[in-house]
Structure 1
Amino acid sequence: MKHLLIGLIAALSLTTAAQARSLDEVRSSGTLTVAIYNDFAPFSDDAKGIDVDIARALGEKLGVKVSFLPFDADESMDDDLRNMVWKGTVLGYGPADMMMHVPTEAAFANRNDKVAIFGTYFRDTLQIARNLERLPELRDMAVLDKEPVGVEADSLGSMILGSPYGGHRVADLHHYVKLEEAFADLKAGKLSAVMALGSQAEAAMGKESGFRVAMAPLPGRVPPGGWSFGLAVKSDYTQLADALKQAMATLESDGTLDRIFTAHGVKRLAP
Structure 2
Amino acid sequence: MFSLKKIALSALLAVSAVAGAEAKDWSTIRIGVEAAYPPFNFIDSAQQIQGFDVDIAKAVCEKLKANCTFVAQDWDGIIPALQAGKFDAIFSSMTITDERKKVVDFSRAYYNTPSAFIAPKASALKDVSPEALKGKTLGAQSSTIQSSYLEANYPGFDMKLYPSQDEVNLDIVAGRIDALFVDKVVGMDWLKTADGACCEVVGPDIPIGSGIGAAVRKEDTDLRDAISTAINEIKADGTYDKINAKYFPFSIWMN
Percent identity, aligned pairs only, is 21
Shift of 1:239: 4.8
2:62 is aligned to: 60
Q: Which amino acid counterpart does residue 196 of structure 1 have in structure 2?
A: V
Which of 89, 96, 121 is equivalent to 1:104? 96
Residue 182 and residue 116 in structure 1: after superposition, are their counterparts in 2 closer, same or farther (change >3 A)?
Answer: closer
Instruction: Report matched runs for 1:198-209 at 5 Å.
Output: 198-205=184-191
5+ residue gaps, structure 1: 1-19, 89-93, 219-223
| Residues 215 and 49 of structure 1: CA distance in aligned 2, closer, same or farther (over 3 Å) | farther
Give 3-state SS (helix, strand or coil) of 1:250's partner.
helix
Query: Where in structure 2 are the equivalents of 1:1-271 lying within 5 Å?
Result: 22=24, 25-27=25-27, 31-46=28-43, 47-74=49-76, 77=79, 79-83=80-84, 88=85, 94-96=86-88, 98-101=89-92, 102-105=94-97, 108-109=100-101, 111-112=102-103, 116-138=105-127, 140-147=129-136, 149-153=138-142, 157=146, 165=154, 170=157, 173-186=159-172, 192-205=178-191, 211-213=199-201, 224-234=207-217, 239-261=222-244, 263-264=246-247, 268=252, 270=254
Give the residue type in structure 1 aligned to 2:64. L
**SS at 1:26 equivalent:** coil
- The answer as to whether partners of 2:31 and 2:87 remain within 8 angstroms in 1 is no
How far apart, CA to CA, are the structure 1 residues paired with 2:202 and 2:244?
Answer: 18
Amino acid at match of 2:214: L
Report the CA distance between 1:137 and its aligned residue.
Answer: 2.0
Residue aligned with 2:36, SS: coil
What is the CA deviation profile of residues 181-232 of structure 1, one whole-angstrom value per residue up to 9, with x for unaligned ones? 33245456665432123343233126766743356688xxxxx543422123
Gaps of 5+ in 2: 1-21, 44-48
How many correspondences in the alignment?
Answer: 225
Change (3 A) 1:95 1:215: same
Alignment CA distance shift 1:198-1:261 (3 Å): farther
1:124, 1:228 within 8 Å by CA — same for their partners in 2?
yes
Tell me the distance in 1 between the aligned counterparts of 2:245 and 2:173: 22
Q: CA RMSD in A?
A: 4.0
Q: Which amino acid aligns with 1:58?
A: V
Q: Distance in 2 between matches of 1:265 and 1:185?
A: 27
Q: Tell me the secondary structure at the aligned position of residue 45 of structure 1.
A: strand
Matched residues in 1 for 2:78 and 2:227: separation? 25
TM-score for the superposition, normalised by structure 2: 0.64
Structure (1 or 2) with the greater helix fraction: 2
TM-score when scaled to structure 1?
Answer: 0.61
- Structure number, greater radius of gyration: 2
